[in-house]
Structure 1
Amino acid sequence: MIYKYERVSKRKQSIGGREMILDKLGIAFNKAYTDKISGKGIDRPALNKLKLDVNEGDIIYCESISRLGRNLDNLGVTCDHF
């Protein structure tokens, strides 16, 4: 399975720019997950759902590593759940 994860920091922000970057890759994503929430914490609804759905060997695309975590510690905690 190939997944796409996108996040913007605020509800009012458009996901369009991030979506466009990933869509230019020409990949047929099986499923997309989108959060409109600050990356400050690791409790993000779509990311939590992705963590439950992903299996070994699956691929996750994200427009920027900063969308998964705000700093190295936060990113490490997030990635430990996969």
Structure 2
Amino acid sequence: MGRTGSRFDNAAAESFWAVLKEEIGTRFWPDRATARADILVFIETFYNRSRLRKHTHWGYLTPHETRLRYQQNQVLAA
């Protein structure tokens, strides 16, 4: 994140929290460890690996696929 009060940083954070609340919901967990585990599973299995970026610039790829493609291009350029 950038400096305090940057509206551009706030938009990215708010977008993430909106997706998290929509997918997981607002439920209660028995303890903090269970909540952390459920959120980690959500981030690693859905948010990073199967959620599509809904924009033609990203080619409708998942964030994970975008990162792999970027890393391949970096290796080839070196």
Q: What is the TM-score normalised by the length of structure 1?
A: 0.24
Determine which structure has the larger strand proportion and give its number: 1
Determine which structure has the larger helix proportion and give its number: 2
Q: What is the TM-score normalised by the length of structure 2?
A: 0.24
Q: Which has the higher contact order (CA 8 A, sep 6+)?
A: 1
